[in-house]
Amino acid sequence: MYQAVEVSHFLVSQTLQYGETAVDATAGNGHDTLKLARLVGQKGRVYAFDIQQNAVDKTACLLVDNGMRSRVELIRDGHEKMEQYVESGVGAVMFNLGYLPGGDHELITSPSTTVTAVYKALDILRRGGVITIVSYTSHEGGGKERDALLGELTHLSQREYQVVHYAFVNQINNPPELFAVEKL
């Protein structure tokens, strides 16, 4: 079986096309940003958001080390404001929720801003595009965020979206879960 992050990377790699625009809604340590930068190629653009300067700096270093910095616009702002920076026609949006690995565990994504950000992502996503949301439930507030997402995503029109929820139901320590949304 594949972990949630691996499945999210697979889905994005099957959807995102060379030269397109993509969004990393939670830059963190930059791994999803780097994946997106490789997929969009030299003619594409990635917008990576994080509210923590430390995350923006770590992402910038990873991109420089891999020769991908010129493909990415790093934005120190909340993902719920993505429509202020990104135009419609986006091929993929990735969320990796929770806290910055190796950072302050008190600074976490929240249900209200995440749900708002997902709706903003739906607005800018092209038909056939995908949103992946890796949700971590083992930290304080993680279960509430997952439940808020499940409540909202369950009610999206099946004529406009396909939504899947990928989770290990018999594993200990609350492994990450994945939501994926395809715009029809």
Q: What are the per-10-residue average pLDDT scores of the chain (184 residues)?
A: 96 98 98 98 98 96 98 98 98 94 85 97 98 93 94 98 96 94 98
Task: Give the global pTM.
Answer: 0.97
Instruction: Name the nearest CA neighbour of 149 among 170, 178, 184.
Output: 178
What are the structural domains, with CATH classification, of the chain?
A: 4-183 (3.40.50.150)
Contact 5, 134 (CB under 8 A): yes
